[in-house]
Amino acid sequence: MEKIFDQICEVLFSKLQEGEYLTVNFGGEKSQFIRVNSAKVRQTGLIDDADLSMELMHDNRVCHGSITVHEPFEVMKDEAVLELERMRVEVIQLPEDPF
């Protein structure tokens, strides 16, 4: 997962324009669960979930976005770039952040 995070950050940071700042966070879980009721196993499962959240700052304005981490990497990379472009359009319409 660390390699995927590094690769996607490299792509996103290379797309930044002058005066833009970007923070990228990675969150997720990989776990296994068992549900028991009346001393019987009712359900078992595996969870493998991750997302990438971004915060774009420009001219004292802040916009948030996120994507789901998945395969193939090329599709996810394109989704991340599209989310950055969406945030870029939105951030100029937002009021300045006083903080």
pLDDT in tens, 43-99: 898 888 889 999 999 999 999 999 999 889 899 999 999 999 999 999 999 999 887
pLDDT at position 49, please?
Answer: 84
Q: How would you label 23-54 residue by residue, b for 16+ Cβ within 10 Å and e otherwise?
A: eeeeeeeeeeeeeeeeeeeeeeeeeeebebeb
For residue 98, what pLDDT is reported? 82
Residue 85 domain boundaries: 2-91
98 in a structural domain:
no
Residue 96 lies in a domain: no
CATH number at residue 37: 3.30.2290.10
pLDDT at position 15 over 90:
yes
Query: Would the pLDDT of 22 be above 90?
Result: yes
- Give the pLDDT confidence score for residue 42 in this predicted structure: 85
